[in-house]
A = this chain, B = another copy of it.
Amino acid sequence: MAKRIGIVDVAAAAGVSVTTVSHALNGRGQVNPATRERVQRVAIELGYAPNRIATALRNRRSGIIGFVSDEIATTPYSGRVILGAQDAAAERGILLVMVDSNGDPEVEARQILALRAQQVDAIVYARMYHQTVSVPSAIGELPTVLVDAVDRHSTSPSVVPDEVGIGRDGTAYLIAMGHRNIVHLTIDDRGPGHDGRIVGYREVMRANGLEPRIASVPSPADGRAGFDALRLAISDTERPTAVFCFNDEMALGVYQSARELGIAVPGELSVMGVDDFTPIAAQLRPGLTTIALPHYEMGRWAIRTLADLIDGVEPPESHVRMPAGMVVRDSVVAPSSLGGIHA
């Protein structure tokens, strides 16, 4: 069992005091350059790495940020947020400890207390889809940022996707491709994503002199939803040439419904999703044109903001709406003249 080597071992090997080793390694105090170099060399030779626990105790700073989320496992998007957070944390030499409340507020409170006992320096409070929350009181005074969530009663910084922008961009893209008869398929449950995208969609449709048409179904995950939705859409007076779906799962449903109804995608119907949920979007044929939510970027922003906050740097912007990006594949094409009844 190789004994862990500590600062005293380095001091002994370099023939100086621990004080000097600390100074030499951390660039504090006055140290003779020759001595400093010798200490550094010895430290490397011995493979010395300071015990962060001891440092944390002394400096009242653990170098750990807690990542609290409601459901790490169930949604695949979460991985992107975490990855962004990881990368930013690695840049700054910060470690992340993640806890999952499983949606239970009591568990959540307990987990947060555990994080505080562990002396985390800050907390990321993340939701796995954009929603309104209230920050648990257990967090107390700890610096906190919200990811994919906002709390009207809290002053903590937050970052969410620019939902209105998503609605705008998607709609604008479809229009640019020549579509005029575009249905927005959304879900019944309201929320920031639901509302924002509708706002963006409406805005761009109207700006182009087009009539917004919105249909909604109970749940994106429901296999029947796409079917019903598409039915709703095509039973309308004018048959749409494009469907702008709330997310990729719903787009998958539309694909399947279209097949059953004998409608060709994208020949007769262009389909656009939101999420860029790769296993679906890339695997479908035709490949799904979609809008990628900025999960990675939000995760990274969260950690960077917190790292600054810990150092006492206030973020320039407190509530950020992160832009999303189009991912163009093959499910959107110019409408054929056969596509719909003319207006």
Say yes or no: is A116 at the interface (Cβ < 8 Å to chain B). yes
In the assembly, what is the distance between CA of A283 and CA of B2, in Å? 53
In the assembly, what is the distance between CA of A28 and CA of B34, in Å? 50
Say yes or no: is A97 at the interface (Cβ < 8 Å to chain B). yes
The residue among A50, A116, A287 with the most chain B CB atoms within 10 A of its own CB is: A116
The residue among A118, A249, A282 with the most chain B CB atoms within 10 A of its own CB is: A118
Say yes or no: is A341 at the interface (Cβ < 8 Å to chain B). no
In the assembly, what is the distance between CA of A188 and CA of B74, in Å? 30
The residue among A50, A54, A100 with the most chain B CB atoms within 10 A of its own CB is: A100
Say yes or no: is A78 at the interface (Cβ < 8 Å to chain B). yes
Could you say which residues of chain B place their CB within 8 Å of the CB of A114?
Answer: 93, 95
In the assembly, what is the distance between CA of A310 and CA of B90, in Å? 27
A246 to chain B, nearest CB (A): 14
B74 touches A79 (CB 8 A): yes
B76 touches A83 (CB 8 A): no
Could you say which residues of chain B place their CB within 8 Å of the CB of A52?
Answer: 117-119
A83 touches B93 (CB 8 A): no
Could you say which residues of chain B place their CB within 8 Å of the CB of A29?
Answer: none
A26 to chain B, nearest CB (A): 14
Say yes or no: is A72 at the interface (Cβ < 8 Å to chain B). yes
Say yes or no: is A256 at the interface (Cβ < 8 Å to chain B). yes
A86 touches B63 (CB 8 A): no
Interface size on A, residues (CB 8 A): 59
Q: Mark A216-255, 1 if CB is under 8 A from B, else 0.
A: 0000010100000000000000000000000001001100
Say yes or no: is A175 at the interface (Cβ < 8 Å to chain B). no
Q: Give the contacting residue for A249; candidates B64, B99, B256, B279; CB below 8 A.
A: B279
In the assembly, what is the distance between CA of A52 and CA of B53, in Å? 10
Q: Mark A74-110, 1 if CB is under 8 A from B, else 0.
A: 1110111011001000100101111110000001000
In the assembly, what is the distance between CA of A1 and CA of B141, in Å? 7
B285 touches A53 (CB 8 A): no
Say yes or no: is A259 at the interface (Cβ < 8 Å to chain B). yes
Instruction: For A253, give the chain B residue with the smallest CB separation.
Output: B283
In the assembly, what is the distance between CA of A76 and CA of B295, in Å? 14
Could you say which residues of chain B place their CB within 8 Å of the CB of A221?
Answer: 279, 282-283
A53 touches B141 (CB 8 A): no
- The answer to whether A287 and B223 touch (CB under 8 A), given A2-B140, A79-B74, A97-B96, is yes
In the assembly, what is the distance between CA of A249 and CA of B284, in Å? 10
In the assembly, what is the distance between CA of A76 and CA of B83, in Å? 12
Q: Give the contacting residue for A223; candidates B51, B76, B118, B284; CB below 8 A.
A: B284
Could you say which residues of chain B place their CB within 8 Å of the CB of A54?
Answer: 57
Say yes or no: is A49 at the interface (Cβ < 8 Å to chain B). yes
Q: Give the contacting residue for A118; candidates B63, B111, B253; CB below 8 A.
A: B63
Name 8 A/B residue pairs within 8 A (Cβ), A-sorted.
A53-B56, A64-B97, A72-B83, A76-B79, A90-B107, A90-B111, A95-B114, A249-B283
* 16 additional A-B residue pairs with CB within 8 Å, beyond A63-B118, A90-B107: A2-B140, A53-B62, A54-B57, A72-B79, A72-B86, A78-B79, A79-B79, A82-B100, A86-B100, A95-B115, A97-B98, A221-B279, A223-B282, A223-B284, A223-B287, A277-B279
